[in-house]
Amino acid sequence: MSLAPAVSAAPSATTTPATTAEPALPSARTAALAIGALGLGGFAIGTTEFVTMGLLPDIAAGTGVTIPEAGHYISAYALGVVIGAPVLAALGARLPRRGLAVGLMVAFLVGNALTALAPGYPTLLLARFVGGLPHGAYFGAASLIAASLVAPHLRGRAVSSVMLGLAAANVAGVPAGTWLGQHLGWRSAFWAVVGIAVVTVVAILLVVPSSPGRQDASMRAELGALRRPQVLLTLGVATVGFGGLFAMYSYIAPTVTDVTGMSAGFVPVVLLAFGLGGLLGTALGGRLADRALFPSLVGATIATGVLLALMLVGSLQAVTLIANVFLVAASASTMVVLLQLRLMEVAGEAQMLGAALNHSALNAANALGAWLGGLVIAAGWGYRAPSGVGAGLAVLGLGFLLASAVLRRRELAAR
C-alpha cells in the first residue's frame, strides 16, 4: 500500500492546538518498513499454521497416527491461539507495543523449535499448543502499531498490510514448506519457520518505532470487552462462519490425491492457488473496510458459503479445484481483515484485545472446522463432505451477522 498520503494528512504541530494534537506520524518510508517487519511475523505465523495441513499425511506417518488423528495437531495449535490471545493481549495492554511484539515473536520461535524436536504424538500436541499461544496477541499488537503509523482514513489498509504477511505465507511459505517437508522430512519445515521468526525479531527491533501501551489499562477492563453483545456476535461470525474454510482446507492434501486423483506433488500447486487468492482477498479487505465495513463483511460471508458449496463438485477436476480454492481463499481472506477491523471497532478502548480476539476466534474456527471435517471423513462420507459442512457453517455465521444488524438498529432507535 502507498503510505505517502498518510504523511501529508498528518496534523501539523504548528496549526493544531496542544490539547488536541496527536503524535506526529512517521515518514512514509519508516511506516512502510515498520509494517513490512510486522508483516514478516505474520508470514512466519501463517507458514507454521497452514503448512501443517499441507504436510498432514507426512506428519501422520512420521508420528504413527491416522490422518483424522493428525488433525488434532491442527486443533492443538488452534486451542493455543484461543487461550493465549485474550490472556496475553489483556496482560500486555500496558506494555510498550514494540517490546510486546518482540516478546511474543520470541515465544512463537520457541514453540516452533519444540515442534521440530517433538519425538511423538503427545509431545507434538503439546508443542503445537505452546506455539499457538502468542499468535493472536502478536497480531493484536502488530495491528495497533500499524494503525498508529498512518492517517485514520488509511488504517484499514495498514492493518490489512500486516495481514498480507499471513496471506503471503500461503503463496510462498506454505508451498515451499510443504515441498521442503516432503523432501527433507516434515520437521525441516518448522525449522525454517524458526529461522523466519529470528529475522522478524531483528527487523522489528531495527525498524519499528517505539509505541507506548495504555498505562490506564487493566486486565479486568480489557476482558470487560467480552461482555459487549456486538463483540460476542462478531466472535460468533469468526468462530462459526469462518470454520467452514477450515472444514474444507484442513483436509486439502487427501482431497487432491483421493478425490481429484492427482499425485501428492500436485498439493503445493493447490496451496499456491489458495495463497494467491488469500493475497487478493487480504488486499481487497482493507479497502472495503475503509469504505463500508459491515456490508462488506456480510457480502464476504455469503460468498464464502456459496463457494464452499461449489467445492462439492469443484474438487472432482484439477482445473475446477484450483479455481474454486483460489476463490474460496479470496472471499475468506477478505472476511479475516473485515472481522479484525470490526472487532477493533466494537471493542471500545480494548482495541488490542479486540484485534487479538479475532485470531482467537479464527483458530477456534480452525479447531471446529478440522474436528467436524474429521468426523464426517471418519463416518465414511469421503473427503468432499467437509466442504458441505463448511457451507453450513457459513450460513450459521451469516445468522450472527443478521443478529448484529438487528441489535445495532435497536440501539440506534433507543437513542
* Whole-number Å distance between alpha carbons of 149 and 31: 6
Are 170 and 46 contacting, i.e. CB atoms less than 8 angstroms apart?
yes
Average pLDDT over residues 384-399: 93
Give the model confidence (pLDDT) of 168-214 as tens digits. Answer: 887 888 888 988 998 999 999 999 999 999 999 999 999 998 877 67
Tell me, what amino acid is at 84?
G
Give the model confidence (pLDDT) of 334-366 as tens digits. Answer: 999 999 889 888 887 777 788 788 888 887 887
C-alpha cell at 57: 499425511
Strands (E), 24-160: none
List, as one string, the DSSP characters of 332-361.
HHHHHHHHHHHHHHHTTT-HHHHHHHHHHH
Helix, strand or coil for residue 45? helix
Using alpha carbons, select from 83, 53, 85, 87 the residue that is nearest to residue 71: 53
Higher pLDDT, 78 or 280: 280
Is pLDDT of 13 > 80? no
Residue-wise burial string across 247-273, b where 16 or more C-beta atoms lie within 10 A, e elsewhere? bbbbbbbbbbbebbebeeebbbbbbbb
Average pLDDT value for the chain: 86
* Whole-number Å distance between alpha carbons of 244 and 366: 9
Backbone angles phi, psi at 11, to 5 degrees: -65, 140
Angle at 164 between CA 113 and CA 130, to 5 degrees: 25
- The pLDDT value given to residue 74: 84
pLDDT interval class at 43 (50, 70, 90): very high
Average pLDDT over residues 257-265: 88
* Whole-number Å distance between alpha carbons of 190 and 169: 13
Task: Find all residues with CB under 8 Å of 286, minimum gap 6, and list them.
Answer: 1, 156, 157, 158, 159, 160, 161, 163, 337
- The pLDDT value given to residue 40: 95
Are 163 and 340 contacting, i.e. CB atoms less than 8 angstroms apart?
yes
Angle at 225 between CA 223 and CA 229, to 5 degrees: 135
* Whole-number Å distance between alpha carbons of 214 and 207: 22
* Whole-number Å distance between alpha carbons of 166 and 287: 17
List, as one string, the DSSP characters of 184-199.
H-HHHHHHHHHHHHHH
Whether pTM exceeds 0.85: no
Angle at 274 between CA 234 and CA 55, to 5 degrees: 100
Task: Find all residues with CB under 8 Å of 54, minimum gap 6, and list them.
Answer: 174, 175, 177, 178, 181, 252, 253, 267, 268, 271
Higher pLDDT, 61 or 328: 328
**Per CATH, domain 26-212+221-414 is 1.20.1250.20:** yes
Percent of the chain with pLDDT over 90: 42
* Whole-number Å distance between alpha carbons of 142 and 101: 7
Higher pLDDT, 304 or 218: 304
Tell me, what amino acid is at 107?
A
Output the CA–CA distances (angstroms, integers) from residue 342 to 35, 116, 277, 335, 398, in the order listed. 20, 36, 22, 10, 15
Using alpha carbons, select from 279, 333, 46 the residue that is nearest to residue 166: 46
Give the model confidence (pLDDT) of 88-110 as tens digits. Answer: 988 887 888 899 999 999 999 99
Domain boundaries, given as residue ranges, for the chain: 26-212+221-414
